[in-house]
Each structure stands twice: as C-alpha cells, then as structure tokens.
Chain A
Amino acid sequence: MTLSDRDLAIRVEHLSKRFRIPLDRSSTLKHRLTHWRSASRYRILEALLDVSFEVPTGEFIGIIGHNGSGKSTLLKILAKIYRPEVGRITIAGKVSPFLELGVGFNPELTARENIFLSGAILGLGRPELHRLFDEIIGFAELEQFVDHKLKNFSSGMEVRLAFSLAIQAHAEILMMDEVLAVGDASFQQKCFDIFNRYKREGRTVVLVTHELAAVTNYCDRALLLDHGRLVADGTAAAVTAQYRRAIGLAADGSRLAPEIDRWGSRDVVITAARMLDERGVEDTNPVTGGFARIEFGYEIQNDAVADFTCVVWLVRGDGLAVAESRFPVSQYAQVGSSQRGSAGTVRYDIPQLPLLDGEYSVNIELQGRRDGATFDHVDHGIRFRVIDRGGRHGVIDPGGVWSVAASELPVVGWPDRLGSTT
C-alpha cells in the first residue's frame, strides 16, 4: 500500500528504536572514571522493531498494545521527542507538539498564567490567547478561579483547564497519549465530543489508549504492537478483537496471581475457583449475553460446622461490586455426612451474562449461617474479561426491548427516555 504524497499524513518505514538501559545506573563522573572499562554494561531494550505503516490524511488511527509494547515510544518518535534510530519517517502537516494534557502546567502559577505558558507550548501566540482566553476559561467552567494557583485546584478542575486549552491547538495531525486515562465519565464524554469534531473536520488523529471501546468507536483503523513489533494493522474492530483474545489468554496463565487477598477463620476453605463456558471448558473471556459458570470447591476443616452460606460478588476492574448473590449450603441436606475433611463443589450459572465490555473479577466468601462470620474470603479469585461483540459503552445490558409503532399515537415532543416494552 503506497499512498500518493497528496493524501499522506504519516509514513513510517522500517522504524526501529532501541534503548540502552545501564545495568548499574549511576549519573556520577566518579563512577564513569572508576568503571570506565565496564562502560558497555547495559541492557538493550528493543522498543520498536522494523515498524512500517502509512496514515492517510483525515484518518483516525488507534495504537493499542500491552504496557511496554512500544506504543508510547512510537508516538514520541512521531512527535519528534525521541529520535528514530533506524528507519524513515515522513510527516506532512503540522504536528501537535504535545502528547498529554496540561503539558507545562505549574502548580505554583495561577490558571491565567498557566494558560499563557502552556498555550505557548501548544503553539498559540499571545494575542491569540488573549482572544481565546474567555472561551477557554468558560469551557473549563473556571470563571471564578482565574487567578487562583493551580495547586489549589482539584484534579478535575485541572483536567478541564488542560482540555479546554488543548482543543485550541491548531495542528493538522494530533497525537494523543492516554488522554482518556484521566478525568471522570463526563470528561471522557467531552473528549469523545471533541473526537467527533476532529473527525468531521478531517483531521488526522493518532490515539494511544487502553480504552478498547474508544478505539472501536472512533478509530477507522488500529495498530497492535507487541514487544515493539507491529503484529496487526487493520480495522479497529478486528484489531481490538485480536488484542482481546491475546490478553485473555495471558490472563488465564496468571489466574493464581500472588496478589490474591484472602482472609477468614478457615473453618471452611475455598480450594479452587474457575470460570467455565457452556461446554464446561475453562474460559475467562465470556461474551455479553452468553453463558458463564462460576465454579469453586470447598473443604470443611472444622467438624462443628455443618452449614454455611456462599457469597459471590462480580466486581468491576475499578473495585465496584456490580452484583452479589448468596446461596446456603447445608452439609446434611446436600452431601449427607459431616466429617472433617468433607468437600464439595459449588456452581453458579449465569445463563445470559448482562455485563458489557470490561475487566471484572469474582470475589467469593464462605460465611457462617448463623452469625455471618467469615470462614474464608478470596478477593479476585477469578479474573475475567467480558467481550461485547457490539462494542457498546456502559456496564450492563438491561435486556430492554425496542419497538416502534405506526404514527397513530400522538407524539408529544421528544420523550427523555426512549424504548418501551412489548
């Protein structure tokens, strides 16, 4: 694929970059003088290996990959912050000189002073900043804090200020590194509004992010990097799906992670936990609306305990408990004998998983029936990643049903809530 020069925004040919990481990092002259013979003791990190791609003008491209895959390095080379080691880069159009929001912000300066300083870094002139000043402050909703020092701002206020300033930068090619990682939901919504505007304006945007949903929703194309190599280049949906499969497999391997948080009296213990699909095969990548089974084993250590309650929580990546479910287990009723060491398996089947795209885990607890005392509690006993084939935003699929009627019904304005039941 070769684009004509007219349509080309970015062309990267056989780009490689390696970092020399000194094994005994020391920035003193004495060390250099006394260890001059061992000057070559460093580890070479291949940050990028023979990466080639082209971006046509007006394309919205996402770069994804695990931490350390080289995606930020690639962006920094495109923005001229790092030097390419081998290879050629052609860039047509003015590149935004910054990668993150709030570059150059200083906590000791006021909002006004920061606008002029950071604005200068973004390439905005002083008369221009004077002209745009009210607009920037207004968009950030900080009219009352113009002459307050930035260190007295909440992080949300700071992000709003940074964002309203950044959208004023007039570059043809925008580079954004994890802009979505900061800010709350309403900020992210603002980001997406701006992304839509950029798309309409036909600007070229390179977005590095971990938010796969953002990539599928806004990017025309995505690149997947793995250990410095470009492993996939294609439509956003196809590349994000490939990435999900890749990290899903990796998550399986690290299921018994050492960071597991666990407590309890150990009168009854949880012996193992896993997630299965409808065929009974272990699978930590359930699909929204699909079948998922949580299965765990228990073992009674204390003869005096005859019955207990199982509690299962589904917990989102950020720690929010999305759902809780309880189930009483009576040793006599279900298994028959209550001898020390007797064990069993408990299953919790979810016929139609209502969760949308995201990282989740399962917390499991065994409690005493009478007093609720914790016998055994495991945080993140199973980690899983839900894949929503529709690429929808949100946490759950409420299973609502859409319908549309003929115009016999009177239409009274716009209803705030769409959707009705059958």
Chain B
Amino acid sequence: MSTIADAQLDALAAGPGPQLNTFRHYRHLTVELAISQFKLRYTQSVLGYFWSLLKPAMIFAITFVIFVGLFKIKDGTQFYGIQLLLGIVVWTFFAECTASSMMAIAGSAGLIRKAYFPRSILVIAASMSSLFTFLINLTIVFVIAVLLHQIDVGFRIFLVIPLLLELYLLAIGISLFLSALFVQFHDIGHLWDVLMQLLFYGSGVMFSLSYVLQRAHLALAAGQTLLPGQKLAVGAKLLGGATVLPTSNLWAVLMVACNPIMQTIEDLRHALLTPQAPWTELVVTGHLAAVNQYARFDYPWLLPVPFLVVVAVLTIGALTFRARARTFAENL
C-alpha cells in the first residue's frame, strides 16, 4: 500500500489516445481565467477599466501635493514628479497583485472542489490582470516623461525587461505563499495589510536613492560633519528607508537594504527616466564607499542580496504552495 505520487498519476492520466497537449491546455486555461477576472474586476462600474489608470494618478496627485506643495520637499534629482509617479505605479502593481492573488485560492472554492487542474494556475491568472494594468501604466508614465522632459532614451531601456521579470517573480512568490496560507488562516490578510504599510516606507517609493545620495554628497562638500546620530540616518536614507525607521537600529537598516522592491524601483527609474546611477551600479562603482566614511556603511555584499531575496521568496512560496495544494479541495 502506498500513496500514489502526483507525477505517477499524471503519467497514467496521460495514457494513450487522442488528447490535448496538457501544457497548452493549462496555458489556455490561465489566459481564460485571467481574461474573465479582468472583466469581472471592472464590471458594474461606470468608468470600468479606467479606474486602474485613474487610481495611481490620484494617489500620485495626493502625494505630490503633500510632499512638494505642502512640505516643499525639493528633490535635487531631475524630474522628481515623474520619479514619484513611477514609484507609485510600481508600488500599486505590487500591492494589488499580492492582495488579489492572495484570495485566488480561497475565492475559487467552487472551482477547486469540482475540477482538477494545477492550482497555481489560479494564482498566476490573478496576478496577470494586475500585471497587464501595470504594463499599461508604465507605458503611460514613460510617454509622459518623454513628452514633458527631454529624456535621453538609450539602450538602458531594455533593462526594464529583466527588472519587470524580477519584480513579477517576487510578487508571484509572495502570492503563492499568501494564497496557500490564506485557505486556513485568514489572519494572513490582516497581517499582510500591516506589513504592506511598513514595506511602502521601506521601498523608496517617495524618495529616490539618488536624492539621498546627493544630500550626503552635499553635506560632504560643505564640510559638514555629521553627528553620530545622523550618520545612521544617512545610512537609512541611503537605502531608501526615509526617516521613519529607527536609525539606531542597524539591523532594520540592513533589512531595508535587502528589499528587492526598492532595488527594482530604483533601477526602473534609471532605465526609464534618468541616466543617473542605479542601485546596482552604485554598489559596484563604490558610490556607497564615498558615503561610507560618514555613514560607516560598508557592505559591498549588499549588491546581490535583493536578487537572492527574490529567489528565496519564490522558492519558499512555491514549496509552501506545493505542500498545501494537495489539501486545498478538502480544506476549502
């Protein structure tokens, strides 16, 4: 007596006779599910799909008015407005993708109990509609940037592709993990809401890395000596973590440094908007070292960390999902 392995079952089910190519079937199913979810999301609303474009624009307007209008934050970097908009668009994708994919399994109980197909299809389909919106938004941001500012468009624009892939894989990894656990623990939803708030401030959506670096350089040029407390504050800002983080806690700073969302936002800004040094380049060329003497933040090994985090998140997410997928039908 043995429990039959999944692969074994699949092999048996494949059997002889005329049949549809399984991979093609599942790919087709993913697309159909994504299309219908996309339609459903904007059903019964007057503006329909425009909401997905309107929402980031509105959030951008609010943020811009508060930070630039009210607090007079002057970003020394080029095109602060459009940089902020790009950050918000990336963040909106990440937030919506994880939030909607989290419900993908629990929200499809009827389907799971009645039909067999790989359960991960549901999560991927749910993420696809967010991804689609994201790509359109990204294009709009880029077009606005080209129209408004003289942006020099170079080959670095192709960097967008691996960066989007990285961001998408991160979102999928988290979605797989969350959706699998959400089936039995609905607390995950609330916990994730809170965690998203924390991540928002730790992902450099509102501050560009270049801005922080320039501030540090200016301080250096003015011969200004930083107080010990400020040194770490620079470190925190340098890593995109604004001032909300407890600056005395080096570990918190390090955690922010490992955040792939910050890295992708920063690199996307570079690829699409400004030719200024991105995160990856900064670490390599030693810009960090320039600040180091003040911030004592000498961690060259930080360079691959965001990428390793993506790999780790995806692996953990996929393994958790696979282990729990077997019992979805029973637990829903």
Contacts and interface: CB of A to CB of B under 8 A. Distances in A.
Please say whether chains A and B are actual partners in one complex: yes
Interface of A: 14, 19, 27-30, 32, 76, 79-95, 97-100, 103-104, 106, 108-109, 113, 116-117, 119-121, 123, 125-126, 170, 172
Given A27-B184, A88-B4, 17 more contacts: A14-B1, A29-B185, A29-B187, A79-B115, A80-B13, A81-B116, A82-B329, A82-B330, A87-B1, A91-B15, A94-B15, A97-B117, A98-B115, A104-B111, A109-B40, A113-B36, A117-B36
A88 B12 CA distance: 12
A324 B40 CA distance: 53
A98 B114 CA distance: 6
B24 to A, nearest CB: 7
Nearest to A9: B15
Interface string B2-15: 11100001001111
B325 to A, nearest CB: 10
B4 to A, nearest CB: 6
Given A85-B3, A120-B32, A121-B111, A28 B20 contact: no
Contact of B114 (A19, A90, A103): A103
A27 B182 CA distance: 9
Interface in B10-45: 12-20, 24-25, 28-29, 31-33, 35-36, 39-40, 43-44
A389 B326 CA distance: 44
17 contacts: A19-B330, A29-B188, A79-B115, A81-B329, A82-B329, A86-B3, A88-B2, A90-B12, A92-B16, A95-B13, A97-B115, A104-B115, A116-B32, A116-B35, A117-B32, A117-B35, A172-B17
Given A28-B186, A86-B3, A93 B116 contact: no
Contacts of B4: 84, 87-89
Nearest to B25: A123
A122 to B, nearest CB: 8
Which 3 A-B residue pairs are closest in the complex by CB-CB distance?
A120-B32, A29-B187, A80-B116
A81 B115 contact: yes
Nearest to A89: B4
A294 B110 CA distance: 46
B33 A117 contact: yes
Interface of B: 1-4, 9, 12-20, 24-25, 28-29, 31-33, 35-36, 39-40, 43-44, 110-117, 184-188, 191, 326-327, 329-330
B185 to A, nearest CB: 5
B115 A99 contact: yes
Contacts of B28: 120, 125-126
A103 B17 contact: no
Contacts of B326: 83
Contacts, number: 119
Contacts of A76: 113, 329
B5 to A, nearest CB: 10
A88 B4 CA distance: 6
Contacts of B18: 170
Given A88-B4, A92-B15, A103 B186 contact: no
Nearest to A119: B32
A84 B17 contact: no
Contact of B19 (A82, A94, A100, A116): A94
Contacts of A28: 185-187
A35 to B, nearest CB: 14
A89 B19 CA distance: 21
B117 to A, nearest CB: 6
A146 B114 CA distance: 25
A125 B30 CA distance: 12
Contacts of B25: 120, 123, 125
Contacts of B2: 88
A81 B110 CA distance: 12
A312 B222 CA distance: 106
A121 B29 contact: yes
Contact of B33 (A14, A85, A120): A120
Contacts of B13: 80, 91, 93-95
Contacts of A87: 1, 3-4
Nearest to B111: A104
A121 B185 contact: no
B39 A113 contact: yes
Contacts of B12: 90-92
A87 B8 CA distance: 13
B113 A81 contact: yes
A79 to B, nearest CB: 5
Nearest to A90: B12
A87 B116 CA distance: 20
Contacts of A14: 1
A106 B36 contact: yes
Contacts of B3: 83-87
Contacts of B117: 97, 121
Nearest to B10: A80
Given A14-B1, A29-B185, A86-B1, A100 B9 contact: no
Contacts of B116: 79-81, 95, 97-98
A205 to B, nearest CB: 16
Nearest to B329: A81
A89 B329 contact: no
Nearest to B186: A27
A144 to B, nearest CB: 22
A32 B185 contact: yes
Contacts of A99: 114-115
A47 to B, nearest CB: 10
Given A81-B114, A94-B19, A109-B39, A89 B24 contact: no
Contacts of A27: 184-186
Contacts of A82: 329-330
Contacts of B187: 28-30
A108 B37 CA distance: 10
A166 B327 CA distance: 26
A116 B3 CA distance: 35
Contacts of A109: 36, 39-40
A93 B16 contact: yes
A119 to B, nearest CB: 8
B27 to A, nearest CB: 10
Nearest to B18: A170
A79 B14 CA distance: 13
A47 B330 CA distance: 12
